[in-house]
Amino acid sequence: MDETLIKLFASERILIDGVDVTCTNAAEFIPRTKRNMGYIVGGLVFNDKDEILMMQEAKRSCHGKWYLPMGRLEPGENLQEGAVREVLEETGLTAEPVTALEIESGGVTWFRILFIMKQTGGVLKTKPDEESLKADWFNPGKVLNKEITLRKDDILRIIQKGIEYQKLPKLEQPNILPVVHPHIQILHRVILHTLTPEGDHAILVNTNKNVHLPCCVMGPEDISLMVSIFLLFKDVFGRLKHPPEICGIVSVEHCGQPEAKNDGMCLTSLVHTKNVLKFDGVNKKNYDWHVVTDTDLISKLNLMLAGKKILPFFDVNSGVLKTKPDEESLKADWFNPGKVLNKEITLRKDDILRIIQKGIEYQKLPKLEQPNILPVVHPHIQILHRVILHTLTPEGDHAILVNTNKNVHLPCCVMGPEDISLMVSIFLLFKDVFGRLKHPPEICGIVSVEHCGQPEAKNDGMCLTSLVHTKNVLKFDGVNKKNYDWHVVTDTDLISKLNLMLAGKKILPFFDVNSKTR
Element containing residue 502 per DSSP (H, E): helix 492-502
Least confident of 67-81, 119-133, 356-370, 431-445: 356-370
Report phi then psi at 394, rounded to 5: -55, -25
In the CATH scheme, what is the homologous superfamily, with its name and number, of domain 376-502?
Nucleoside Triphosphate Pyrophosphohydrolase (3.90.79.10)
**What span, in angstroms and rounded, lies between the C-alpha atoms of 63 and 56?**
8
For domain 2-25+177-305, give the CATH number: 3.90.79.10
pTM recorded for the entire structure: 0.59
Yes or no: say if 216 and 230 are a contact pair by the CB < 8 Å rule.
Answer: no
Q: Identify the band that residue 208 occupies on the pLDDT scale cut at 50, 70 and 90.
A: confident
Yes or no: say if 465 and 388 are a contact pair by the CB < 8 Å rule.
Answer: yes
Yes or no: say if 78 and 255 are a contact pair by the CB < 8 Å rule.
Answer: yes
**What span, in angstroms and rounded, lies between the C-alpha atoms of 405 and 420?**
26
pLDDT of residue 107: 44
Least confident of 39-48, 216-225, 255-264, 312-321: 312-321
Angle at CA of residue 252, ends 250 and 258, nearest 5°: 155
The SS3 assignment for 195 reads: strand
- Domain residues of the chain, as ranges? 2-25+177-305, 376-502
Q: What is the DSSP letter of 6?
A: H
Decide whether 2-25+177-305 matches 376-502 in CATH topology: yes
Counting Cα atoms < 13 Å in the Cβ hemisphere of 350 gives 5
Angle at CA of residue 209, ends 203 and 211, nearest 5°: 20
Yes or no: say if 413 and 425 are a contact pair by the CB < 8 Å rule.
Answer: yes
Q: What is the 3-state secondary structure (H, E, C) of 406-436?
A: CCCECCEEECCCCCCCHHHHHHHHHHHHHCC
Least confident of 167-181, 212-226, 277-291, 485-499: 167-181
pLDDT at 297 over 90: yes
Q: Which long-range contacts (CB under 8 A, 24 or more apart) does 296-300 make?
A: 296/6, 297/2, 297/5, 297/6, 297/9, 298/201, 300/9
**What span, in angstroms and rounded, lies between the C-alpha atoms of 401 and 403?**
7
Q: How far is CA 493 from the centre of its chain?
A: 30
